[in-house]
A and B are shown apart, each in its own frame.
Chain A
């Protein structure tokens, strides 16, 4: 009986690995007694990328914070594989990674040390190693340099390399291209493309054009 149950469980996990679904239903957000947005709804399934665009202060970051579960919406619901994210917090935390507007790295630590801390916050499931992650973002030679000595573009890349060690299926990124040069922008886009093509999902707040070849693409524009 137990064995059968655990087998179905494994099966369901595999299933959810293959096809993940993020559904957002009629979300609205109020901040400082002002309505930022209302009736935002979308569906995103494996392999798709969603771009969120809009004027400054139109609530893009707030939307992303609601999507990652840090903030609660005024109304509406976010669900991951048909379950409300507030009810499956730990499972959702495992499947999702958020790179915010702040980098979330410590200036006193080296890049690798920062990634080791980030890694300890997740349950290791065979995402790539810290060195590999840095290598993919072409900053492996900065591994042992304290982040304080890095340029802001390099810091951004350290923050983005967290995505690769987390092995998360859903990437939530707030202005990932800020202070990146042209070649690193291409590099990051390439990484997002690979992520989508291997069945990952991404919600990206950015003003950069983001259409990637062969990746189903959606766009929400805030006014």
Chain B
């Protein structure tokens, strides 16, 4: 027990959430399957004329990612709320912000990372150029953590509410729009051989802003939900 208690609580909660994510693999796989289905529907709807597909593909990927992350947010706090473990975390003497951060990291590892891998794979199948794939990878790497961070704050507000799902989408999807705009712009610039550094800077700024604010917002929202 020579480790720092704060470090200890962070890793314990992280490991715990990863364990549940892998154990309840249905909850892990469902958003991913949803994502794959939505994205693969487009060639059927629009025909296999690949120039058009290549143009809209970044947008399709990003919209599907937003929806699938919104779907997956539900498991972040609700099961802990139901069995009372969330209450215990709030009553901990460690700052709730740390606990929230551990849960956000776990959520990103379980949702964001599989999405990145799946998008790259689909990008290859759809025949995206090397430059577009590169831009796609960078935007996803910087953007998916934002989805988990902002999502956790909104999820914390609706935890335990009946019909919270609808409310969650209403709160969260508008917040995702700036990220969507810059990411899609970056990929389409890259596909036309233009630079996309400007968009990447904006996405990075959004990421930094969410890292600094979202864990506090999550902790506060949870307190409000219980208080």
Contact = CB atoms under 8 A, between A and B. Distances in A.
Interface residues of B, number: 27
Given A71-B226, A108-B20, A122 B92 contact: yes
A70 B83 contact: no
Contacts of B24: 108
A124 B87 CA distance: 20
A108 B23 contact: yes
Nearest to A66: B227
A72 B227 contact: yes
Interface string B82-98: 11110111111111000
B83 A103 contact: yes
A102 B93 contact: no
Interface in B15-38: 16, 19-20, 23-24
A102 B83 CA distance: 6
B84 A71 contact: no
Nearest to A102: B84
A104 B83 contact: yes
B48 interface: no
B93 A93 contact: yes
Interface string A58-91: 0000000000111110000000000000000011
Contacts of B13: 117, 120
A124 B85 contact: no
Interface in A94-118: 94, 96-98, 100-109, 116-118
A180 to B, nearest CB: 17
Interface stretch (B4-12, B61-69, B134-142, B208-216): B4-12
Contacts of A124: 1, 5
Given A102-B87, A108-B23, A123 B226 contact: no
A118 B12 CA distance: 10
Contacts of B12: 116-117, 120
Given A72-B227, A123-B5, A107 B83 contact: yes
Contacts of A40: none
Given A94-B93, A117-B13, A123-B5, A71 B227 contact: yes
Interface in B91-117: 91-95, 99
B91 A98 contact: yes
A65 to B, nearest CB: 8
Contacts of B92: 93, 121-122
Interface centre among A68, A100, A102, A118 (most CB of B within 10 A): A102
B226 A70 contact: yes
A70 B85 contact: no
A100 B87 contact: yes
A60 to B, nearest CB: 16
Contacts of B1: 124
Given A90-B93, A106-B20, A108-B20, A118 B5 contact: no
A70 B91 contact: yes
Contact of A121 (B83, B84, B88, B226): B88
B87 A106 contact: no
Nearest to B16: A117
Contacts of A93: 91-93
Contacts of B23: 108
A102 B82 contact: yes
27 contacts: A70-B90, A70-B227, A72-B227, A93-B92, A93-B93, A94-B93, A96-B91, A97-B91, A100-B84, A102-B87, A104-B84, A104-B85, A104-B88, A105-B83, A105-B84, A106-B16, A108-B20, A108-B23, A117-B13, A117-B16, A118-B88, A120-B8, A121-B89, A121-B92, A122-B92, A123-B5, A123-B94
Interface of B: 1, 5, 8-9, 12-13, 16, 19-20, 23-24, 82-85, 87-95, 99, 226-227
Interface of A: 68-72, 90-91, 93-94, 96-98, 100-109, 116-118, 120-124
Chain A to chain B: the 5 pairs with minimum beta-carbon distance, closest first: A102-B84, A104-B84, A120-B12, A121-B92, A93-B93
